[in-house]
Amino acid sequence: MYATLHGTIVPGDRIGRTIGFPTANLQTADPLPEDGVYAAVLHWKGGCRYGMLDIGMRPTLDGKNRRVEMHLLDFSGDLYGESVEITPLHFLRENR
């Protein structure tokens, strides 16, 4: 298991929502696991949501800034400014 990441959801570039995969962008000072795609769980307000976590430089976009972004399954809502915890559960693949 990987260490839980703690932080605040901040606005991103809002590209994911235009292609049907909106993401929650985590601002954290915690040490990050290796770049890649993970199955993960987000804990927020006493509940949890599962999804796909991407950590890395976004090679299909600008490739300039390391980001922590999570697409939540079956969720629509606004998490901006919320304090959350994200736990990577399983490494799925490297970024491409």
The predicted-structure confidence for 11-48, as pLDDT tens digits, reads as follows 877 665 665 667 899 999 999 999 999 999 999 998 99
Q: Measure Cα distances from 94 to 12, 34, 35, 42, 59 in Å.
A: 21, 9, 7, 21, 11
| pLDDT value of position 91 | 97
CATH number at residue 64: 2.40.30.30
Cβ–Cβ < 8 Å for 4, 84: no
3-state secondary structure (DSSP) of residue 16: helix
Q: Look up the pTM and report it.
A: 0.86
Beta bridge pairs of residue 71: 52
- When divided into structural domains, the chain yields a total of 1
Range of the domain at 84: 5-93
Phi, psi of 16 (to 5 degrees): -55, -40
The per-residue pLDDT for range 47-75, each reduced to its tens digit, is: 999 999 999 986 566 667 789 999 999 88
